Structure 1
Amino acid sequence: MSDSNYTGTSFFLTGLPGLEAVHTWLSIPLCAMYVASLTGNSLILWVVRSEPSLHQPMYYFLSMLAVTDLGLSASTLPSMLTIYMLGLREVALDVCLAQLFFIHTFSIMESSVLLTMAFDRVVAISNPLRYSTILTSPRIASLGLAITVRSIGLHIPAPIMLKKLPYCRNRLLSHSYCLHPDVMKLACADTHINSAYGLFVVLSTLGVDAVLIVLSYVLILHTVLSIASKAERLKALNTCVSHICSVLLFYTPMIGLSMIHRFGRWASPCSRVLLSYLHFLTPPVLNPVVYTIKTKQIRIRMLRLFRSDGAGIREPQDHLFMSASTTNSSVFILTGFPGLDQYYPWFSIPFSSIYAMVFLGNCLVLHVIRTEPSMHEPMFYLLALLALTDLCIGLSTVHTVLGILWGLSQEISLDACISQIYFVHGLSCTESGVLLAMAFDRFTAICNPLRYTSILTNSRVIQFMVTIVLRSAVSILPVIRLKFFHYCRPHVLSHSFCLHQDLLRLACSDIRFNSFYALALVICTLLLDAVLILISYVFILYTVLAIASQEERLKSLQTCVSHLCAVLVFYIPIIGLTMVHRFGKHLSPLVHVLMGNIYILFPPLMNPIIYSVKTQQIRSRMKKWFSLKM
């Protein structure tokens, strides 16, 4: 890699600068992105090929886009994975030139396909009566051939010209794959012709395509605004949403990368590499997601892959009505976001991300506590139980919440519903007990520090944990009585998961025992725990205020911040949900659903963040994984 190696015919690729120590870990999300890209685009091709209703011009263009994305992923995959998984960075000149040819060719193809899709939308909206006569199958094939010939023809000269250049500078490339400007910079001969030709190709393809796409949407807007009916205008524009998203996914990272290369010499090498990853990895991963979410035929066909009976897939409202009217069945219908059924695929994206963060965050906390000897202390054992409880809360609701948003199923059997009630309420009771035990830990550490180790021994902490779990497991058992009730009202629950009070309202049997027991249980667990936590902090404050030094007072209170945040994160949603259920009958069902989701998801999401931010050992361990200095 020295500058004196003038005759070498190989280059060295770059990963993420400064993060070489964690390249193996970074290979996991990169592999996941490549798997998602290859699987998603292959599924799009399979669905379009096997679904007769999709044999239309728009979906033929979508197939071209999927093929292009597959080609782009396959072009960058070999060098990316060899760097991150195997640590091999050297690439021969011929291999490098072949890679840059395919990367740039498929990039131009994608731009061209997006332009033809814009043309498809112009014809469909501006001239719908002639759509089938303008976009015939032979014409679509001709457009596909023209795109391929233009992309390949324009890029053949680039590697040939680069092959003839001598390379006498440091042969270290600035990306994880070969790009024309990157290789050209390492030549020690006159590269004006190469530079001019590269600029010509970019302007005549990406530049022209972008301008024509913008003009297409100007025509579309002109046509749409002339439509009298607002509903028809929205319907017409809605057919363009997927294409607009794909255009933004392709051009936004590319413009950002160009700006950084031209004017961002101050930017870190890491930011350039990350932007290039966004440019080449984001469109192939997200294009299938965008078109699956927005295209009903593709979405339904995808769902059939996960269901044995394709006829079982109905529109949400019809399905809800038919199931709800069958009051003698033991099947209940869960509710997503009332009135927003058409947006469920979009809602599934943030909800999937939240669940991923819940699982990842709490697993990381458990891993750090297990592997860090300095954290084998009572406070962190209780934190581990809190993380385990949050993890289980996520697991107990993920299948129903995402099942609704992904359109898989809104039905749940009575037995499954009672099981979910048992785990949801039992784990909530467990979390309340853990927070009380953590308050006792803080009380002992501040009010009686000299006896802390003798009071909170390992065996005593284990006894606390076993008691907390047993209290929750035993006290929730009477929910089994729900199994023997007769449900004569419409079987539509008001949340995306089963709750005791929700199911109880649908029963037409005598429910007084369950109602009184539930109230007593709330008072004896959640309310009693909250009162004891409050009393603990009264004693803590009394002790802290008796300390003479202000610095010591602040230091003592600082150790309680994480626990106080966790208590507020847990109890505030519970109080809010209770108030909404008791006094918010005039509120829309959407408010009830939102409060239910906050109650279930907010504590498991926030607790790992709170303890990672406020606990030095966890923070230090996290930073070690990313090779950062404290």
Structure 2
Amino acid sequence: MEHDSHTTWEFNGSFHQPSAFLMMGIPGLEALHPWISIPFCALYLIALSGNCMILFIIKKTQSLHEPMYYFLSMLAVTDLGLVLCTLPTTLGIFWFNMRRIGFDACLTQMYFIHILSFIESSVLLAMAFDRFIAISHPLRHSSILTKTTVIKIGLAIILRGMVSLLPIPFLLKRLTYCQKNELSHSFCFHPDIMNLACADIKVNVFYGMIVLLSTVGMDFIFIVLSYILIIKTVVGLATKEECLKALNTCVSHICAVLVFFIPMIGLSMIHRFGKDIPPLVNTLVAYTYLIIPPALNPIIYSVKSSHIREALLRALRRKNLSTPRAMPFPNSSDLSPSSFLLASIPGLEPAHFWMAILLCSVYILAVTGNCVVLFIVRTEPSLHAPMYFFLCMLALIDLALSTSTVPRILSFYWFNTREISFSACLVQMFFIHTLSAIESTVLLAMAVDRYVAICHPLRHATILTNAVTVKIGLVAMARGVTFFLPLPLLLLPLPFCHSRLLSHSFCLHQDVMNLACANTTPSVVYGLTAILLVMGLDALLICLSYILILKAVLRLAAWKERLKVFSTCIAHICVVLAFYVPLIGLSVVHRFGKDLAPLVHIIMGNIYILVPAVVNPIIYGVRTKEIQRRILNLIHINSSRTAQ
């Protein structure tokens, strides 16, 4: 068993108490902690922003000052508390390998985690009671659940949690502990600490079980009883439509109850009876219990509650999506429009705000991942080789491509700035197509690098020198600009019809071209020629490179040698597929998919822009040992001596 060299023990006769515990990340995946932290950061960001937005909307919207939304505010505050309790220690382990936590600090964190969990359980019971009164006794709802009553319920919930859990830390402090001081989570949990004790823990076990059953257990039983009474009332309604309408008001609450109680029951069962279960299962269930409910609750309520959804739209949008701001448009069709309208996601306009949060999280992942790759290659002399220089070019292109589109999409989704000027649209279109062409060329250069490294290893250093690599980068840039600069110039003189609605939330050549009223044959022919001569030719040459690589690999005698050599190409093959598959899909949809649903166009466009930028640094970070090792050296403060 590993121990922290700085952990000391207090001795008082036979009484042993550690000065600190060692927290655990995800067992068996310690080397991937920096990458695993990325989805955790995204979930924490969604939880924090979502719950803060719920509180802001309810505070600012007078029509939401009702019992149900007061309880929802309590739920949001509780979820924020749970997130803030676990975020510092979890990310501290993932980013800096800070496993050590003081004994008293651990007990404090444990107390707040459990008390907030019990408060959330009680709030869910109060919300079930609110739904029962609203459906079974609608005329008495406002007189029973007054503001004063809601405040009293809130105070009673807090007092109940504090009083019932207050003895827990003191019961743990009285115990004597063995030399084993490693927890099984990245936060402190009562059964986890209790199991490290050497003394008799029957009192702790019985008291913990009694408190759990008398609070969370009773809450769950009363919630089930409330819904039995609700169903009994609903069944007595005259029509099926009335039944469905009444039950529909409970869907959000039922989802929130399931999201909270299922992981909690699972975690409790694992701690009580799952000693033979792999540690990874225990860890994943614990993270699900503490992170998923705070992230999902605001999404559930904003999607299902029309009142919150409408309040969000009123608060965050300048105008109604269905009535975009009118712009002066010439009667004649022989003039360029002053602006275009970006496309929304059909049928999901009310959920744009939440989709923007997800999109923003993905964009942050892309920017962070590519910046990390650039920093690692820049600061590590051993990575100053052609393959990593090409990787840096790829990272720069992905940064530029995502930055040229995502901020504009977020502005549209959050503030309904749907209009984009004609000139801005052409500029964005030029950068998207030019950067895509440069990325295609860089992928070809990386394929050539792999071919030379495998087929002519002794000549690799002399063929692909740093000077040659720089020249290849300049040629890739000049090639992209030369081939795709004429695209916006060919669109400039075209007359456009009155339709200004694009099929994406960014500007693409085919999309803008299809809005023109004149003959677009020159634009069609040139656009197709440019794509075939750049992306098409690059794809053929990449395939040819791998045919030659396979030919060289198959000449090797042993299977192990073949696999070892070919494994150096796996990262590049994955990146090529991540780039070309969405590109081909989007091109086919634009050329032959006029009858496809608008949603298909939008999804394909977003995949084409975002997936390569997010996936590329992850692929190379996972597959390249040098980058992986350098990242671990930078992020892990004590990577060489973790808890000796």
Displacement of 1:46 after TM fit? Answer: 3.8
Paired residues for 1:69-88 under 5 Å: 69-72=79-82
Q: Write the distance in 2 (CA, Å) between the matches of 1:22 and 1:613.
A: 8
RMSD: 4.2
Q: Secondary structure at the match of 1:89?
A: strand
1:425 corresponds to 2:433: yes
Displacement of 1:521 after TM fit? Answer: 1.8
Displacement of 1:272 after TM fit? Answer: 4.6
Displacement of 1:477 after TM fit? Answer: 2.3
Tell me the amino acid that sits aligned with residue 434 of structure 1. V
1:365 corresponds to 2:369: no
Q: Which residue of 2 aligns with 1:54?
A: 64
Q: Which residue of 1 aligns with 2:115?
A: 105
Shift of the 520–298 alpha-carbon distance from structure 1 to 2, 3 Å rule, reads: same
Q: Which residue of 1 aligns with 2:474?
A: 466
Identity of aligned residues (%): 47
Which of residues 84, 89, 92 is equivalent to 2:101?
89
Shift of the 462–129 alpha-carbon distance from structure 1 to 2, 3 Å rule, reads: same
- Contact 1:327–1:488, Cα closer than 8 Å, also in 2: no
Q: Deviations over 1:159-190 (max 9, x none)?
A: 56666x35364584736665554555566766
Q: Deviations over 1:270-317 (max 9, x none)?
A: 765664454345444543454445445545655666x6xx6x232x3x
Q: Which residue of 2 aligns with 1:441?
A: 449
- Contact 2:9–2:17, Cα closer than 8 Å, also in 1: no
Paired residues for 1:400-419 under 5 Å: 400-406=408-414, 408-419=416-427
- Contact 1:48–1:55, Cα closer than 8 Å, also in 2: yes
Q: Which residue of 2 aligns with 1:563?
A: 572
Displacement of 1:343 after TM fit? Answer: 4.9
Q: Which residue of 2 aligns with 1:313?
A: 319
Paired residues for 1:95-174 under 5 Å: 100-158=110-168, 165=174, 167=176, 169-170=178-179, 172=181, 174=183
Q: Write the distance in 1 (CA, Å) between the matches of 2:223 and 2:47.
A: 25
Q: Write the distance in 1 (CA, Å) between the matches of 2:35 and 2:451.
A: 40
Displacement of 1:112 after TM fit? Answer: 0.7
Greater mean deviation of Cα atoms: 503-512 or 78-87: 78-87
Which of residues 241, 246, 267 is equivalent to 1:257?
267
Tell me the amino acid that sits aligned with residue 419 of structure 2. E
Shift of the 499–256 alpha-carbon distance from structure 1 to 2, 3 Å rule, reads: same
Report the TM-score when normalising by structure 1: 0.82
Which of residues 584, 591, 596 is equivalent to 1:582?
591
Q: Write the distance in 2 (CA, Å) between the matches of 1:522 and 1:122.
A: 62
Displacement of 1:595 after TM fit? Answer: 2.6
Which of residues 596, 605, 618 is equivalent to 2:605?
596
Q: Secondary structure at the match of 1:49?
A: helix
Q: Secondary structure at the match of 2:103?
A: strand
Displacement of 1:437 after TM fit? Answer: 1.8
Tell me the amino acid that sits aligned with residue 150 of structure 1. R
Displacement of 1:117 after TM fit? Answer: 0.8
Q: Which runs of 5+ in 2 are unaligned?
A: 1-7, 332-336
Q: Deviations over 1:144-164 (max 9, x none)?
A: 23323433343345456666x
1:492 corresponds to 2:496: no
- Contact 1:577–1:595, Cα closer than 8 Å, also in 2: yes
Report the TM-score when normalising by structure 2: 0.81
Q: Which residue of 1 aligns with 2:486?
A: 478
Displacement of 1:445 after TM fit? Answer: 3.3
Displacement of 1:351 after TM fit? Answer: 4.2
Higher RCO (C-alpha under 8 Å, 6+ residues apart): 2
Displacement of 1:508 after TM fit? Answer: 2.9
Q: Which residue of 1 aligns with 2:4?
A: none
Which of residues 394, 397, 418 is equivalent to 1:389?
397
Q: Write the distance in 2 (CA, Å) between the matches of 1:161 and 1:438.
A: 62
Q: Which residue of 2 aligns with 1:330?
A: 338
Shift of the 217–483 alpha-carbon distance from structure 1 to 2, 3 Å rule, reads: farther
Q: Secondary structure at the match of 1:13?
A: strand
Q: Write the distance in 2 (CA, Å) between the matches of 1:281 and 1:510.
A: 55
Q: Write the distance in 2 (CA, Å) between the matches of 1:236 and 1:405.
A: 31
Aligned residues: 619
Q: Deviations over 1:333-365 (max 9, x none)?
A: 222332343454565565455434433443343
Q: Which residue of 1 aligns with 2:3?
A: none
Tell me the amino acid that sits aligned with residue 337 of structure 1. I
